[in-house]
């Protein structure tokens, strides 16, 4: 069994510090809430994603997944009756 922690609790921390703390506490993985990086997942650059992968390898902390994809966003609704809103 592997244990992970969500990076929400480290929301205002530098990404490096998040991975380091996760490793120091003995967790196997970090779950990432995109809003802790930027309010729009579309604004998270390929450089930031690569940086996250490098930190994951450096600290031997897996990335468990992502969640709260719509937290911190405006205008995104997966159940809106308007196709355009859902597609966005």
| Full residue range of the structural domain in which residue 52 is found | 4-87
Instruction: Say what the pLDDT of residue 66 is.
Output: 78
- Sequential DSSP letters for 23-88: HHTT-SEEEE-GGGT-SSGGGS-HHHHHHHHHHHHHHT-EEEEE--TTTT-SS--TT-S-HHHHH-
Nearest to 33 by CA among 12, 8, 56: 8
pTM: 0.81
Q: How many separate domains does the chain show? A: 1
Instruction: Say what the pLDDT of residue 74 is.
Output: 73
DSSP state of 12: T
- pLDDT tens for the chain, 88 residues long, are 999 999 999 989 999 999 999 999 999 999 999 889 988 888 899 999 999 999 999 999 999 987 777 676 777 777 888 888 777 7
């Amino acid at each position: 069994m592997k244990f992970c922690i969500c990076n929400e609790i480290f929301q205002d921390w530098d990404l490096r510090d998040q991975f380091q703390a996760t490793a120091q506490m003995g967790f196997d993985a970090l779950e990432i809430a995109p809003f802790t990086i930027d309010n729009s997942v579309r604004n998270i650059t390929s450089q930031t994603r690569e940086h996250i992968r490098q930190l994951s390898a450096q600290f031997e902390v897996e990335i468990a997944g992502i969640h709260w994809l719509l937290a911190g966003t405006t205008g995104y609704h997966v159940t809106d009756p308007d196709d355009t809103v859902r597609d966005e």
